[in-house]
Structure 1
Amino acid sequence: MTTSFSAAPPYKQAVSALIVIHTPDLQVLLLERTDFNEAWQSVTGSREGEELLGQTARREVFEETGIDTQLYKLRDWQQSHDFEIFEIWRHRYAPGTTHNTEHVFSLEVPFTLDIALATSEHRRFKWVGWIQAAEMVFSPSNADAIRSLPERCGH
């Protein structure tokens, strides 16, 4: 008799990248999560393995939007925030993990692009002005990053 089993997926690392994608006139791309209705956010995701944070940012942007970051200017803000992981997502992390360190990046694209959504993660996308985007996102650190865009981009 043969038994088969599948190993549980590895836990997510509590280190992530937040990437605010925007145009020169500060239209910001927002994605709505599939697992949290009306929860809008920028691209975000956990580091995998030993990848560098810039690699995490590039991979997450491509996975969630289909955008090739090599074609545009990805900026590492050299800024990070620690935040408490929402209770509904803690099961994805090792037992006892309650906080995540998020590293902030931005990606400037020349105009509002069509997006190839990762439908397992996001149900729709919108391009909105930075002020409205900061009001729409559910994450305080995401809102703070969006509010910093004018200064970061020299506006």
Structure 2
Amino acid sequence: MKVVLTAGHCLKNANGGVIIIGTNDLLSNETDVVRHYVDSSSFKVHPQFNIHVAYLDVALIILPEPLKFSNAIQSVKLPSGYLLDESFAGEIGTVSGYGQYCDTCGSSNLLRFTQNRVMQNKECGKSFEIGLIPSENHVCLSTVETNSGNCRGDSETK
């Protein structure tokens, strides 16, 4: 596997960077941590991505060499077949990132996560900014039950 799936808005204006795989600690010196230095020629943002409405907000990073899977490095299965039409409303979803988890904190070096209920798109649309209407391609997580969600900087390059 030589491809990493990410959000298009994370790469839209990026020049390159370091891809860190196999740890939840950005400062880790563990031997099984993989670091790839990539430039923007390795980025493939969906050609119809529209940042203003978060439409087709996906991108690929082509790595210089294939990943070797281990206990720390594994693939993620994406929905296929009949599940492509599933809304997953009511299921539990996970959001994770290295963003600020408090108003006075900087970005985290440790991957943080929370699990919340997936919302119906109609319910989700009420909490979106004006002009952003979720489509069947979006998945929205409710923060009502847990009072936790994504953090500032979770979906941006560090």
Q: TM-score, normalised by structure 2?
A: 0.26
Judging by fraction of residues, say which structure has more strand: 1
* Larger RCO, structure (CA 8 Å, separation 6 or more): 1
Q: TM-score, normalised by structure 1?
A: 0.27
Judging by fraction of residues, say which structure has more helix: 1
